[in-house]
Structure 1
Amino acid sequence: MNEAVFSQIAMLVFLTGLIGWMGFIVWDLAKKSQAGKFGTMALFTVLGAGVVGFLIKTVLVEVMQI
């Protein structure tokens, strides 16, 4: 396994963990602030939009390199 393959695998694993950790933080924030259903949905929508934007950017970069 060379350095490039290791870096790609490590980024995938740690980025997935980071996204999960951010989801837990948002859930905990919504719970502690008593945001309710609408507030919790709004918080997760904003977080989800950021994650989807990152995924779209990653896919576009890979497609444009081909």
Structure 2
Amino acid sequence: MIFGLTEEQIAEFFLTYGVGAFIVLMLFIIGQLAWESKAGKFGTMIMFIGLGLGILGFVAKMVLQSVLKL
């Protein structure tokens, strides 16, 4: 036990909030890449759609896990 938490609790916390924070960081990185490359509206949209599908998959996984626990 570390800080009164089990390994499973620590892993669940970082898989939920750590990956969520990483997704937010990725949004800023994609925005910066789009700005620096002068991708234009269409290129920026494609870049964010690609990342958005990954975010949608992550959120869907979290929803399914919470529904199946019931």
Quote the residue 1:2 is aligned against.
Answer: 6
Specify every segment of 5 or more residues in structure 1 that has no aligned partner in the other structure, as ranges: none
In the comparison of the two structures, how many residue pairs are matched? 66
1:20 aligns with 2:20: no
Q: Extract unaligned runs of 5+ from structure 2.
A: none
Per the normalisation by structure 2, the TM-score is 0.73
**What do the CA deviations read for 1:2-61 (whole angstroms, capped 9, x no partner)?**
221121112222101210121111111101110112221221111101110122133224
Give the alignment's Cα RMSD to 1 decimal: 1.7
Query: Which residue of structure 2 lines up, in the alignment, with residue 59 of structure 1?
Result: 63
Q: Report the TM-score when normalising by structure 1.
A: 0.76
Identity between Structure 1 and Structure 2 (%) = 38
